[in-house]
Structure 1
Amino acid sequence: MKKGVDVGGTFIKVLWEDGRREKIYVRDISQNREEFIKKLREVIKDGRPSRVGVAVAGFTSLEGVVYRSPNIPALDGVDVGKILAEEGIEGVVMNDVSAGAFGEWFYDYRDSKSLLLVAVGTGLGAGFVHEGKVFLGSCGSALELGHHTVEKGGFLCNCGRRGCLEAYCSSYGLERLYEVFSGRKLKDYQIVQRAKDGEEEALRSVETFKEYLVLGLMNAVHILNPDLVVLGGGLIDQLREFLGDLEIRLKDAVESLPSKCLRVRFSECGEFCMARGALALALRDDF
């Protein structure tokens, strides 16, 4: 039996080939290297899987080494591929959103030639699948869309740089925009609810979030020329009622040729999206 494992900073999520799902809470040990690795090893080998796909939130090399994970400090420098080998389990390790992008193509959009997944939640990540193959770059770090600069000298990003797309389009980005416009600190879900209730500062924050999101997507479309952009992640799900015009706005922003073949869709796979992508990788023996 094969399974997909999504390693996040709050939960490790598991999706089995037969549809079984598991969530393991790990937030309390996300900065404890020894305990986190121990738990990850237990999850990987549990149930004696024949093959495992592992999706990791962080800069992950082609060999399965997590060079840096901003939201899971315990994983910095950890060789997840080596853990698989030590347990005698065949598998593949990949950045979580790259894995999620493959899952979108594998399960829902095989008619797409070039699929870009952009996931917005705690941070902003992206993955790109071209002709059924995940594009990872030379050493595995391609599609860090959240860390391209959209505002010189702008907001401080969690990566340590300034003006990154993620610094504006993420949970903490929305919270920061709201603080600028209102002078108050609220959590992302509270801001979204206030926007739904018609509060001016919340609506202004959401609109500014959308403006930066369109800017970031425009840059990506001009570089990659996808025929399909899929939007997902917890914050996108919360904001769905405000994003109905996003496809029109994006098409208006990009050049006419890439606009001609472009579609925008919303992911429907929910919180197990990255685990689903990891499972898809496990099911494909050519990875």
Structure 2
Amino acid sequence: MDRYYWGVDLGGTKIECIVIDRNTDQPIVRERIETESVKGYQHILGQIKILIERCANIVGHYPNAVGFGTPGTLDPVHGVMKNCNTTALNGQPLDKDLNETLGIHAVIANDANCFALAETHFGVVKRIKPEAQIVFGIIMGTGVGSGIVVDGKCLYGCHGIAGEWGHNVLEPNGADCYCGKQGCVETVISGKGLERYYYELSSQALSLPEIVEQAKQNNHEAVKTITRLREYFGLAVARIINVLDPEIIVIGGGVGNIEALYQDIETQILPHLFNTELNTLIVKPELGDSAGVYGAAALVKNIS
């Protein structure tokens, strides 16, 4: 059994590796390197190899398995990456190539799954409800992503898209989404969706933090935008609770920082809930920008 958990957060601009002591759950190494993705797929693989070898030299041990958080999904049917904003990865058998390049067992999950895993094993869930069987992790920022953790492990599904909450229709005949549908959760309650709605009301282009500040000053259009967020969030989350019934939901991303989202949250969810009371905890994360790399390490907790 490997003494350490190894995780790599594979981003568009940087690649970060963490090595965590199995006995203490404390990181002993964290190193970064530039991705340089414009140089192509093979170069990215080379950068990962450089980083892994650098960390191995520091700890005096080469890993048997490494978890990788990626900006897309490994298609379980075709065995290649899809939906990556680091486009050089799309269509590539990343797990197989990592196995061959590094001589390790690579485990891959997207950033939302890694977020949910990180907060389950190392963050807020571990602290306040470590016995939780089902955890739903949400990233609400420029877009909307989510991941499901059951008994400490990611749920992937037969298409590799389990937890793809952001592309369910929330507002029929709503704004066009890049996925081809209209009124997806992502188009309605993402940061970009809220900014677009405010612009439609006011003809002013403000950032989400500016809209939040305007709402605090009782600007009519801003208040209406935040009210819309609260109402649609309640509807969208109630559907998740009705289907999965998680003990805890963790909300990350910039939209998740809006305090109004949590105020009297039961009144937004209960009208759409099958159950007559809300017992699911809805909380903020604790790991911040570190969630990706911690979640990648958590991918190998059950196999290394």
Task: Structure 2: give runs of 5+ residues left out of the alignment.
Answer: 21-26, 57-61
Q: Quote the residue 1:165 is aligned against.
A: 185
Q: Which has the larger radius of gyration?
A: 2
Q: Quote the residue 1:154 is aligned against.
A: 174
Q: Quote the residue 1:270 is aligned against.
A: 288
1:16 aligned to 2:14? no
Give me the whole-angstrom Cα distance separating, in 2, the residues matched to 1:20 and 1:284.
21
SS in 2 for 1:55: strand
Q: Quote the residue 1:47 is aligned against.
A: 55
TM-score by length of 1: 0.85
Per-residue CA distance 1:120-147 (angstroms, 9 max, x = gap): 1121111112223321111321111001
SS in 2 for 1:284: coil
SS in 2 for 1:168: helix
Give me the whole-angstrom Cα distance separating, in 2, the residues matched to 1:181 and 1:35.
46
1:256 aligned to 2:251? no
Q: Quote the residue 2:207 is aligned against.
A: 187
Q: Quote the residue 2:23 is aligned against.
A: none
Per-residue CA distance 1:29-76 (angstroms, 9 max, x = gap): 47965655554554455423513211123233348632222x333322
Q: Quote the residue 2:136 is aligned against.
A: 116
One-letter amino acid of the structure 1 residue matched with residue 19 of structure 2? W
Give me the whole-angstrom Cα distance separating, in 2, the residues matched to 1:185 and 1:163.
21
The one of 261, 264, 289 aligned to 1:245: 264
TM-superposed CA distance for 1:250, in Å, is 2.0
1:81 aligned to 2:95? yes
Give me the whole-angstrom Cα distance separating, in 1, the residues matched to 2:143 and 2:39.
18
Count of aligned pairs: 282
SS in 2 for 1:15: strand
One-letter amino acid of the structure 1 residue matched with residue 8 of structure 2? V
Give me the whole-angstrom Cα distance separating, in 2, the residues matched to 1:179 and 1:11.
33
* Mapping of residues 167-246 of structure 1, within 5 Å: 167-237=187-257, 239-240=258-259, 242-246=261-265
Per-residue CA distance 1:137-182 (angstroms, 9 max, x = gap): 1132111100111112211223332211001121211221121121
Identical-residue share of aligned pairs (%): 29
The one of 2, 5, 9 aligned to 2:8: 5
Per-residue CA distance 1:172-224 (angstroms, 9 max, x = gap): 11221121121122233333333344433223222212222222111111111
